[in-house]
Structure 1
Amino acid sequence: MAENISRRNVIKAGVAAAAAGAATVFPKVASAKSKKIRWRMQTHWPTGVGYYKDVYVKFCDRVRAATGGELDITPLPPGAIVPTKDVFEAIGRGLFEISLIWPAYWIGKVPVAGHINGQLFTWERAAEMYAYFYDMGAIEIFRQAYGEHNVRFVAPLPMTGLALYSRKPIRTLDDFKGFKVRSTGIAAQVFQKAGATPVFFPGAEIYQALQTGVCDGAHWGTVSTAWDMKFQEVTDYIVLPYLAGINNGEIIMNQKKWDELPDDFKAIIEECAASTGIDFLRWSGYNDSIDIEKFQKEKMGELSYMDADTVAQMRKFSIEVVDEYSKKDPKYCAKAGELLKEQLKMNGRI
């Protein structure tokens, strides 16, 4: 109950802050700009999910309204310009301008991107994530790392807890042994340390993989974002506590295009990105509650709770992976990892 109250208060506070910030830039911009700016935006989200329109398309609508139509962003579905795995490179090369996307896809190119997603069993509330990025300064580390590839990291796109849907119950560490889990990035390496077998499929293939038993479990964001992917039809359990209390997507864009923007448009994009983060927190938080109830009452599914020892061990594995990345990438991962561990110590988790 205390966790629900905390999350609700965080979301209310975030909405208020976003609204206050938006008020300073959202009135129609009066400018002497003579040429309308037209951008294309691509995401990895399938068009059929509820948050495609309520979060992704709404971001483009917000920017258009706030600039009086002078900056017009067209939202495009996965693969419209390039395959999802190539988005980061395409943005850097200027093939298109902006994207709402998942950072773990380029962890091989930019290892510190894994810290943008968030690490398993670390943040428990949105306020902690925001403090890490903005108060502790992690966002500047990410911007420097992305900048080397001509990509501007605009903002994190937070959602509620990272949910594991499973065909099998997961209660102890032993239950992970041989468990085939669809996962990405650093999360996959944490599962591997626990004895699981990480596998990867594009989003459109996860349903069939679960249905046929090619994998035993999968995560695709929150309970509700995975619900829109129909995971509830091919699994029997939702594993709790969440793998992460908060996890992030990202909004990124071409650095040159960012540099060319006037300051008022830069402020608008940042404010719209912040408001979109609140939209996604609100959307996922509300729909998570609805879908968990449906899962139990309509689908006759069960909630499978990991015991405290398992959670503690998984957190330990998570920090081990963070440290391994710090050694591989002392320039960026080491800095981001130290900030995270400093925060976890303050919160009494390590």
Structure 2
Amino acid sequence: MKRRDFVKGAIAATAAIGFSGCTREMIEGKKNVNISRRKKVKLKLATSWPANFPIMGTGVDRFAEKVKAMSGGSLEIKVYPKNILVPALAVFDATSSGQIDAFHSGPYYWKGKNPAFALFSGLPLGMVASELSCWMNYGGGYDLWRELYAKFNLYPFVGGNTGVQMGGWFRKPIESLADLHGLKMRIPGLGGEVMAKLGVNPILLPAGEIYTSLERGTIDATEWVGPALDIRMGFYKVARYYYTGWHEPGSILELTFNKARFESLSEEHKAILHYAAEAMTAEMYHEFMHENAIALEKLKEVQVDIRDFPPEIIEAAKTALAQVVEEQSGESSDFKRVFESMERYYRTIKPWSDISEAKYLAIR
């Protein structure tokens, strides 16, 4: 045997012995060492909800757990309920300034900063949850949202959807448009502005004051979300009439990061946040659907009177909405741009929605 061939054979044999001695436990150990040595990142996220708040609050907690698991523990999110780090409606400013890294809330709370922000929660009598998701991802919604939020050093994701919300709880039945005149109702956002055109006096109240105000007659009506959350508030005890909804057909919730902080993350961590947010959005929507169905049966047991608004009110609401949109568009070019984008996509997707789900739901 030539010396060169002997050397090659010896090297090959040594390599074989080396690989045969590299057990699965050793390989797994090396993986764990790599994970443990990876730089760990911790983010502070504040919500606008109380601790353990059903669906919305608990959904964020599960999101944080998923992020930690998907990252092998290298990315941790500490969730702070409202008023722990910052007040419920101060999360936008706190994240913008970098005081915290992220927040979970609703875009329509920030309409005072830019009227267009209300539209990213959805539009009264507009697109439902699935259609809004399509607009966000394929119709330019995300591009507009992120462009406008970037001016505040923010980077948003859709962070859930409530689905169609109910129209509210009323102490007395609403049988005509005249019954709305002078009515004091807790209702925020664009829905409140439309109701104002119909003669309602919209009132903003924190969650903790709504039941007492309704019980004492300080307000005559209130909207909240849907059966799953409304039944926990006990509104059925002081307001018997529960109306189906039109003002929030698919309200988007947001998971928004400080833009500079988000961009400083690794591509791996950015991807994890992206897909964990999508998972949370789907889970939250499905949980709302499930829990609303269960709660609706309980409300029927306590003989809640569930009604539709009279047709004249719905028609008047459509007219009022057009007036609100025209006024807001005249005052804000951003509002006009976002609304026109929504409207274009609505015209694109409505024909399919009408001959698919709408037809099926009508005949099933």
TM-score norm. by structure 1 comes to 0.84
2:317 corresponding residue in structure 1: 314
Matched, 1:338 2:345: no
Which of 224, 228, 236 in structure 2 is aligned with 1:224? 228
Match of 1:305, as an amino acid? Answer: D
Which structure 2 residues correspond to residues 49-64 of structure 1 after superposition, within 5 A? 49-52=53-56, 54-64=58-68
The 3 A distance-change label for structure 1 pair 232 and 68 is farther
Which structure 2 residues correspond to residues 290-305 of structure 1 after superposition, within 5 A? 290-297=294-301, 299-305=302-308
Structure showing greater Rg? 2
**Contact 1:220 1:226 survives alignment (8 Å):** yes
1:135 corresponding residue in structure 2: 138
Give the Cα–Cα distance (whole angstroms) in 1 for the partners of residues 196 and 102 of structure 2: 33
Which of 91, 100, 103 in structure 2 is aligned with 1:99? 103
**Contact 1:223 1:288 survives alignment (8 Å):** yes
2:13 corresponding residue in structure 1: none
**Contact 1:170 1:305 survives alignment (8 Å):** no
The 3 A distance-change label for structure 1 pair 67 and 228 is farther
Match of 1:162, as an amino acid? Answer: Q
Which of 157, 181, 184 in structure 1 is aligned with 2:185? 181
Match of 1:337, as an amino acid? Answer: F
Match of 1:50, as an amino acid? Answer: P
2:28 corresponding residue in structure 1: none
2:74 corresponding residue in structure 1: 70
Give the Cα–Cα distance (whole angstroms) in 1 for the partners of residues 210 and 126 of structure 2: 26
Q: Any idea what the Cα deviations from partners look like across 1:188-228, whole Å, max 9, x if unmatched?
A: 11110111000011122212112212112222223322333
Which of 247, 250, 253 in structure 2 is aligned with 1:249? 253
Question: SS of 1:228's equivalent?
Answer: helix
**Contact 2:48 2:91 survives alignment (8 Å):** no
The 3 A distance-change label for structure 1 pair 40 and 270 is same
Give the Cα–Cα distance (whole angstroms) in 1 for the partners of residues 37 and 102 of structure 2: 21
Once the two structures are TM-superposed, the CA of residue 243 in structure 1 deviates from its matched residue by 2.8
TM-score norm. by structure 2 comes to 0.81
Give the Cα–Cα distance (whole angstroms) in 2 for the partners of residues 229 and 41 of structure 1: 26
Give the Cα–Cα distance (whole angstroms) in 1 for the partners of residues 88 and 57 of structure 2: 19
Give the Cα–Cα distance (whole angstroms) in 2 for the partners of residues 344 and 257 of structure 1: 34
Which of 231, 240, 262 in structure 2 is aligned with 1:236? 240
Q: CA RMSD in A?
A: 2.2
The structure in which a higher percent of residues are helix is 2
Which of 87, 90, 93 in structure 2 is aligned with 1:86? 90
Give the Cα–Cα distance (whole angstroms) in 2 for the partners of residues 344 and 172 of structure 1: 30
2:157 corresponding residue in structure 1: 154
Q: Any idea what the Cα deviations from partners look like across 1:123-146, whole Å, max 9, x if unmatched?
A: 2x3221112211111111111111
Match of 1:137, as an amino acid? Answer: G
Q: Any idea what the Cα deviations from partners look like across 1:41-85, whole Å, max 9, x if unmatched?
A: 111222253225541211111111111111111111111111122
Matched, 1:289 2:299: no
Give the Cα–Cα distance (whole angstroms) in 2 for the partners of residues 289 and 170 of structure 1: 24
* Identical columns (%): 23
Give the Cα–Cα distance (whole angstroms) in 2 for the partners of residues 64 and 48 of structure 1: 19
**Contact 1:50 1:228 survives alignment (8 Å):** no
Q: Any idea what the Cα deviations from partners look like across 1:228-280, whole Å, max 9, x if unmatched?
A: 33333332121114433211111111111111011121111111111111111
Question: SS of 2:124's equivalent?
Answer: coil
What is the total number of aligned residue pairs between the two structures? Answer: 318
Once the two structures are TM-superposed, the CA of residue 32 in structure 1 deviates from its matched residue by 8.9
2:9 corresponding residue in structure 1: none
Give the Cα–Cα distance (whole angstroms) in 1 for the partners of residues 175 and 309 of structure 2: 4
Give the Cα–Cα distance (whole angstroms) in 1 for the partners of residues 245 and 155 of structure 2: 33
Matched, 1:144 2:147: yes
Question: SS of 1:215's equivalent?
Answer: coil
**Contact 1:49 1:228 survives alignment (8 Å):** no
**Contact 1:323 1:337 survives alignment (8 Å):** no
Match of 1:87, as an amino acid? Answer: V
2:169 corresponding residue in structure 1: 165
Unaligned runs of 5+ in 2: 1-31, 354-364
2:327 corresponding residue in structure 1: 324
Give the Cα–Cα distance (whole angstroms) in 2 for the partners of residues 106 and 242 of structure 1: 21
The 3 A distance-change label for structure 1 pair 148 and 33 is farther
The 3 A distance-change label for structure 1 pair 32 and 333 is farther
Give the Cα–Cα distance (whole angstroms) in 1 for the partners of residues 307 and 295 of structure 2: 15
Question: SS of 2:123's equivalent?
Answer: coil
Which of 111, 114, 119 in structure 1 is aligned with 2:115? 111
